[in-house]
Structure 1
Amino acid sequence: MTDRVVPAADRRRRRPTKQGVVLSEELIVATALRLIEEHGAEALSVRRLGRALGADPSSLYRYFRHTDDLLLAVADELIGRTLRTWRPTGDWLADLRDLGLRMHAGALAQPRAAVLSAYRVTGREHEIQAVETILGVLREAGFPDAEAVRVYHAFVDQALAFGALDSASTALPKAARDAESAVWKATYARLPADTHPHIAATARHLVADMRLSSYPAALDLLLSAAAARLAEILGRT
């Protein structure tokens, strides 16, 4: 896509496409997500999207100015999907743990899109809602504003980073994933104790643990540190 601008009032298409559907931002984003998972980043072209939608490619400019604008909408939709499934309980630790795990699971459900968008700032509706929600959880728990922002920053970056990391692994061909997982048993578990005592001592744990994502453990460590920090802050007041 090139950088064109269509006034917002003129964006809605009134006639159905060749496939009998009426274009909308939601439909275009959903189609882009599907194509990204099937074809990768190259799916974000007006020609491929237009073909998938049965629409003239130029009609997409009524909704998105260029491909980066569409990518930001895709990233925001991933955030929205997570928020729509999350229900706070009032227990800030449990709520953030649940939200983090849902963010990670959402990335793994759309691995190619997650890798493309994890590092972007959308400034869109769902991202704004997520920032407001997480900061609200932290401030209501008792974190001062500066500390709430620090914990928010670490929490979100950790979830996005692990989501992108694990999504990249998930996107590998199965044979490659299986081969990498087998290295822990075929190589590390066979290293002798006289040359690699620490690996040898922990080999069975490495074989069992390293094939799994470390995100739940990392999330628990982060939240434990945040809880300790909050207790320290509240103890001073």
Structure 2
Amino acid sequence: MSYCLNCHQSYMETWSWQAFLGLGIVPLLCQDCEGRLELIKGEICRICGRAFSLFPEQYRQGDCCFDCIRWEEDPTWNGVLQQNRSLYVYNDFLKEVIAKLKYRGDAEIVKAFYPVAKTSFRKISRNGLVIPIPLSEERHYKRGFNQAELLARGFSSQPALLLKRKTHEEKQSKKTREERLVQKENPFQVIDAEKLQGQNVLLVDDVYTTGSTLRYAAKVLLEAGAKQVSSITLAR
């Protein structure tokens, strides 16, 4: 008998990750909760990992979505983020799960995603540094943990905490798309540039929305000496 990390109901292990993903790992969510998650699969944008099946054909060009084409056409951002890959579609169910994690302090629930994190995206790390997107000191203090750092432990037992936020700012979730994209200065700074020299970096965050947060972080890491930067998020 096991207990689901999301709904906390008991369930019998009559199904498994092996049946679902070929992993052979004990499930940490009940079958009902797991079934409400939507893995990103099929054709995706080469850069941001967005599933092409979720938006009209006219919003893509070849193997890229228009959002990424706009980023890449800007000389300031061209090539800054090598690629992003996300585990799941940001549907209503996952939105609620992430709210439990971030705003209601249910840090344990993040472990439900470790099996997929550890097995499905090994190639993207390229044996480099795994760096979580940091919170401001104020928000970290209020929350008690950084959800991106907890997620990063699904990829590395010792994430490299080499980024910090310069100032406390309004939550990204409260900003419009335009406000997310228009940032006067980079909100991130590198803590120890020496450890970055020539390194491939995998940034980790909870949700990819516009891609601005990850690109600002990638830019400051590249300027400090990183070789290239990719990212992975729980949701897209």
TM superposition score normalised by structure 1: 0.32
Identify the structure with the greater strand proportion: 2
Largest Rg, 1 or 2: 1
Identify the structure with the greater helix proportion: 1
